[in-house]
């Protein structure tokens, strides 16, 4: 592996968005509390049955 090299990079952002406001409905927290402590406003999750490692890698490889 001494001759290995990175020839490209890519990214894929899943469509399924979970916001802090949604988390407020599920647990005793608030958007302000989460954002203050983590800086996170939303998360993206894969869609079960649609997104697979292979499909996400294929999407990430598109230019």
Q: How many domains, the chain?
A: 1
Assess if residue 5 is contained within a domain. no
Residue 49 lies in a domain: yes
Residue 6 placed within a domain = no
Per DSSP, 42 falls in state: E
The domain in which residue 39 lies consists of 16-61
The pLDDT-based confidence of 53 (bands split at 50, 70, 90) is very high
Asked whether the beta carbons of 20 and 34 are under 8 A apart, the reply is: yes
Whole-angstrom distance, CA of residue 32 vs CA of residue 7 = 41
In a domain, 50, yes or no: yes
42 domain-assigned: yes
The 3-class SS string of the chain reads CCCCCCCCCCCCCCCEEEEHHHHHHHCCCCHHHHHHHHCCCEEEECCCCCCCHHHHHHHHHCC
Residue 21 lies in a domain: yes
State residue 2's pLDDT score: 83
Within a domain: 56: yes
Mean pLDDT for the chain overall: 93
What are the pLDDT digits (tens) for 3-30? 899 988 999 999 999 999 999 999 999 9
């Amino acid at each position: 592996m001494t001759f290995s090299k990175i020839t490209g990079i890519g990214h894929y952002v899943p469509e399924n968005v979970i916001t802090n406001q949604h988390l407020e409905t599920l647990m005793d927290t608030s958007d302000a509390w989460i954002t203050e402590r983590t800086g996170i406003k939303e998360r993206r999750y894969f869609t079960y049955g649609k997104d697979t490692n292979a499909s996400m890698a294929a999407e990430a490889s598109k230019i």
